[in-house]
Amino acid sequence: MCTHRSTCPSADSPDAEAAQVVAAHPEQGWSLLCNGVLLFEDTGELLPDGQVIAPHRPLAVLV
């Protein structure tokens, strides 16, 4: 899906979230990346093949 220079990482790449946003809907809490990944504001993801990646927020560090 990526058609711009400096091709973005594929949806199955460990750095898939680094792809460029092609549609952003912050009011609904999601963005579509150029590699077909739906990225949700809670850090969850929906891959183009239908696979779900659970939210992976870093745990808070208590000081």
15-60 tens-digit pLDDT? 888 899 999 999 999 999 999 999 999 989 999 999 999 998 776 6
| 61 vs 16: CA distance, rounded Å | 26
DSSP character at residue 1: -
| 23 vs 3: CA distance, rounded Å | 15
Would you state the pLDDT for residue 45? 94
Would you state the pLDDT for residue 62? 67
| 2 vs 8: CA distance, rounded Å | 6
Would you state the pLDDT for residue 6? 77
Query: pTM of the full predicted structure?
Result: 0.80
